[in-house]
């Protein structure tokens, strides 16, 4: 009797960017004992428990490291001796090498367990807008959103889905925008085939929230000032954006909307959206953009010149004292006072 006939299954949650992966991983980690009682094991590496607003990378690195070190067979056999259903979740699964996906598929066939891939996809304009903000927060982005859209030729969530389709047949695609109100965690439970009443609901807290339009434009301008004075250092934008986010993690944010950019996306990606809808949703679930329930801003805000002058002064001091970084907290306090 092979493993599959005993009901052994590996669940891979592919954490596509800006689809609630951090919040889901906090939930999976926090209630791993409840999942275990329900028959699902969420492996956890050594280390401290994450805080309630803290961004995590999930547990997928445990599996990826095992694949890289050619010890995945022993690792999975050990897990399956104790548990029949195992969950791994990580954004790192987006970039996993093809050779490792092939090795995992070969192990599936050799050991006889099943694999279910779970992936959330998000309406196109929204996910690209959130990814653009992530570039501002983490990668010193200085270009405009228009420039970002016009340069976008590949959408990561679409690319990832096609890669996994080459290796695995059982793929559960969930529509982030439809499931968000009902609960991303409830949709996850359905994908697992588990009664969601057995698992406590995910806390109604924002994790790694988006920037407001004003915050994004201010930090984008400050990134430019920083690069004009200092060597590239992504910790600068990371620390400043975190100052704003953690000072008000529940802040409601709006979205900058430009219909001309929507037309660019329609021309490039309508065909792929249609393919996903036909294959996974049987309708028009995934969209280019849905305006309902969103606060739209159609004009980017002007940043007061005095903010930029003070920011430039503090950035210059920060760079001159980069060894101790005494200036950055002062700049963070300035930003807090804006709100």
pLDDT in the model for residue 31: 95
pLDDT at 334 over 60: no
Reported residue count of the chain is 339
Residues 169 and 230 grouped into a single domain: no
Q: In whole angstroms, what is the distance from residue 51 CA to residue 54 CA?
A: 5
228 vs 3: CA distance, rounded Å = 59
Mean pLDDT, residues 85-108: 97
- The pLDDT-based confidence of 50 (bands split at 50, 70, 90) is low
Strand partners for 41: 86
Residue 267 counted as domain residue: no
Where residue 206 falls among pLDDT bands split at 50, 70, 90?
Answer: low
3-state secondary structure of 55: coil
Give me the helices (H) in 139-249, please. 145-151, 156-165, 176-182, 184-192, 213-229, 234-247
Return the CATH number at 164. 3.40.50
Task: Report the alpha-carbon angle 109-113-114, nearest 5.
Answer: 95
Residues 222 and 84 in one domain: no
Residue at 206 is within a domain: no
Q: Please report whether residue 114 resides in a domain.
A: yes
Same structural domain for residues 240 and 160? no
Output the six-digit token pair for 339: 């709100």
Answer yes or no: do 247 and 159 share one domain: no
Tokens of 49: 């428990």
- With respect to residue 219, please indicate whether it lies within any of the assigned structural domains: yes
Q: Are 214 and 109 in contact (CB under 8 A)?
A: no
Residues 252, 274: contact at Cβ < 8 Å?
A: no
Conformational region of residue 130, where left means phi above 0, alpha means psi within -120 to 50, and beta covers everything else: alpha
**Residues 176 and 244 grouped into a single domain:** no
Residue 150 lies in a domain: no
What was the pLDDT predicted at 316? 82
* Residue 40 sits in the same domain as residue 181: yes
Residues 171 and 222 grouped into a single domain: no
- Looking at per-residue pLDDT, the higher value among 243 and 336 belongs to 243
User: Which phi and psi (to 5°) does residue 199 adopt?
Assistant: -120, 130
What pLDDT was estimated at residue 30?
Answer: 93
Mean pLDDT over all residues of the chain? 89
Domain count for the chain, please give it. Answer: 2
pLDDT in tens, 127-138: 999 999 999 999
Give the whole-number percent of the chain exceeding pLDDT 90: 72
Condensed to tens digits (0 to 9), the pLDDT of residues 88-97 reads: 999 999 999 9
**Alpha carbon distances (Å) from 146 to 107, 151, 173, 260, 263:** 44, 9, 29, 9, 12
> pLDDT value at position 244?
82
Locate 102 and state its tokens: 């092939």
Kindly tell me if the per-residue pLDDT of 122 is higher than 50.
yes
Q: Tell me whether residue 183 is in a domain.
A: yes
Do 41 and 160 fall within a single domain?
A: yes
pLDDT band for 102, please (50, 70, 90 cuts). Answer: very high
Detail the DSSP E strand segments found in the chain.
9-14, 85-90, 114-121, 171-175, 255-256, 296-297
pLDDT in the model for residue 243? 85
Does one domain contain both 44 and 189?
yes
Q: Are residues 60 and 181 in the same domain?
A: yes
Q: What is the pLDDT of residue 86?
A: 98
Asked if residue 55 is part of any domain, the answer here is yes
The parent domain of residue 320 ranges over 213-252+304-338
With beta carbons less than 8 A apart as the criterion, state whether 254 and 213 touch. yes
pLDDT digits (tens, 9 = 90+) for 291-306: 999 999 999 999 999 9
56 and 179 share a domain? yes
Segment 213-224 shows an average pLDDT of: 94
Would 174 be classed as within a structural domain?
Answer: yes
Task: Name the pTM for this structure.
Answer: 0.88
- Verify that 235 and 320 share a domain, yes or no: yes
Which burial class, exposed, middle or buried, applies to 109 when counting CB atoms under 10 A from its CB (0-12, 13-18, 19+)? exposed
pLDDT at 236: 83
Question: Using CA atoms, how far apart are residues 19 and 24, in angstroms rounded to an integer?
Answer: 9
């Amino acid at each position: 009797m092979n493993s599959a006939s005993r009901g052994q299954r590996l669940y891979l949650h592919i954490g596509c960017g800006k689809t609630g992966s951090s919040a889901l991983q906090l939930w999976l980690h926090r209630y791993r004992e409840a999942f275990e009682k329900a028959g699902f094991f969420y492996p956890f590496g050594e280390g401290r428990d994450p805080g309630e607003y803290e961004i995590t990378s999930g547990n997928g690195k445990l599996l990826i490291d095992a694949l890289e070190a050619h010890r995945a067979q022993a690792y999975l056999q050990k897990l399956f001796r104790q548990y029949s259903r195992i969950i791994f979740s990580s954004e790192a699964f987006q970039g996993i090498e093809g050779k490792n996906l092939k090795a995992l598929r070969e192990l599936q066939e050799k050991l006889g367990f099943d694999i279910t891939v779970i992936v959330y996809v998000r309406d196109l304009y929204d996910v690209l807008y959130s990814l653009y903000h992530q570039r501002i927060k983490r990668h010193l982005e200085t270009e405009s959103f228009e420039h970002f859209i016009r340069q976008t030729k590949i959408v990561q969530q679409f690319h990832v889905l096609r890669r996994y389709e080459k290796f695995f047949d059982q793929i559960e695609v969930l529509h982030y925008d439809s499931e968000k109100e009902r609960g991303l965690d409830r949709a996850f439970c359905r994908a697992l085939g588990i009664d969601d009443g057995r698992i406590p609901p995910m806390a109604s807290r924002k994790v790694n929230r988006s920037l407001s339009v004003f915050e994004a434009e201010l930090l984008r301008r400050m990134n430019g000032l920083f690069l004009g004075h200092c060597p590239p250092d992504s910790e600068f934008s990371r620390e400043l954006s975190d100052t704003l986010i953690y000072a008000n993690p529940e802040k409601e944010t709006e979205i900058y909307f430009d219909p001309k950019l929507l037309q660019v996306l329609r021309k490039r990606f309508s065909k792929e959206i249609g393919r996903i809808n036909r294959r996974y949703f049987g309708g028009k679930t995934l969209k280019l953009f849905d305006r309902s329930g969103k606060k739209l801003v159609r004009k980017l805000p002007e940043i007061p010149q005095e903010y930029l002058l003070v920011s430039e002064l503090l950035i210059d001091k920060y760079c001159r004292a980069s060894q101790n970084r005494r200036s950055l907290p002062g700049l963070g306090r300035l930003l807090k006072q804006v709100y």
